[in-house]
Amino acid sequence: MMNRKTRRLWLVIACGAGVSCATALMLVAFRSSLSFFLSPQEVVAKHPAPGMVFRLGGVVQANTVVMGTRDNRPYTTFRITDGQASIPVVFTGVLPGLFRQGQGVVTVGAMAKGDREFVASTVLAKHGASYMPAPVEQALRKAGKWNPKFGPAPNAATWDDKSPRTIEADNNG
Partner 1 sequence: MIPALGHFALALALAIAGAQAVIGLFGPMLRDRMVLRAAPALAISQFIMLGLAFAALVWSGVVSDFTVRNVAEFSSSTTPLFYRITGTWGNHDGSMLLWCLILSLCGATVGVFGNNIPTSLRARVLGVLGLVSGGFLLFTLAVSDPFRRIWPPPLHGAGVNPILQDPGLAVHPPILYTGYVGFSIAFAFAVAALIEGRVDAAWGRWVRPWTLVSWIFLTCGICFGSLWSYYTLGWGGFWFWDPVENVALLPWLTGTALLHSAIVVEKREALKTWSVLLAIATFSLSLCGTFLVRSGLLNSVHAFAASPNQGLFILVLLALTIGGSLLLFAIRAPVLAATGIFAPVSREGALILNNVFLCIIAAVVFTGTMYPPFVDLAFGMQISVGAPFYDQAVLPMVAPLILAMAVGPMLPWKRGAIGPALVKVWYAAVAALIVFAYYAFQRHFIAALGLAGAVWVMIGALIDIGERVRLFRVPLGQSFARLGTIPRASVGAALGHFGFGVVVLGIAGMTLRVHDVTVLHPGQSVALGGFNWKLDSIVPATGPNYTARKATITVTRHGKLVMVLKPERRYFTAQKVKTVAAAIRTNGVRNMFATFAGEDNSGGGEFRFNVHPFAPEIWLGGFIMALGGAISLSDRRFRIGAPARAKLRKPAGSATV
Residues near partner 1, by CB under 8 A: 1-4, 7-8, 10-11, 14-15, 18-19, 21-22, 25-26, 28-30, 32-37, 55, 67-69, 72-74, 92-98, 106, 108, 124, 126-130, 133-135, 138
Q: Which amino acid would we find at residue 99?
A: F
| Closest to partner 1 by CB, 88 or 135 | 135
> Cβ(109)–Cβ(115) under 8 Å?
no
In angstroms, what is the minimal distance from the CB of 20 to partner 1? 10
| Closest to partner 1 by CB, 106 or 120 | 106
In angstroms, what is the minimal distance from the CB of 67 to partner 1? 6
Distances (CA, A) of 34 to 26, 30, 42, 51, 53: 11, 6, 18, 14, 9
The C-alpha angle with vertex 78 and arms to 73 and 84, in degrees rounded to 5, equals 160
| Closest to partner 1 by CB, 30 or 173 | 30
In angstroms, what is the minimal distance from the CB of 64 to partner 1? 17
Kindly report the number of other CB atoms within 10 A of residue 105's CB atom: 26
In angstroms, what is the minimal distance from the CB of 172 to partner 1? 29
| Closest to partner 1 by CB, 97 or 151 | 97
Residue 65, burial from CB neighbour count under 10 angstroms (0-12, 13-18, 19+) = middle
| Closest to partner 1 by CB, 77 or 162 | 77
Give the whole-angstrom CA distance, residue 135 versus residue 106: 9
In angstroms, what is the minimal distance from the CB of 163 to partner 1? 23
> Cβ(86)–Cβ(80) under 8 Å?
yes
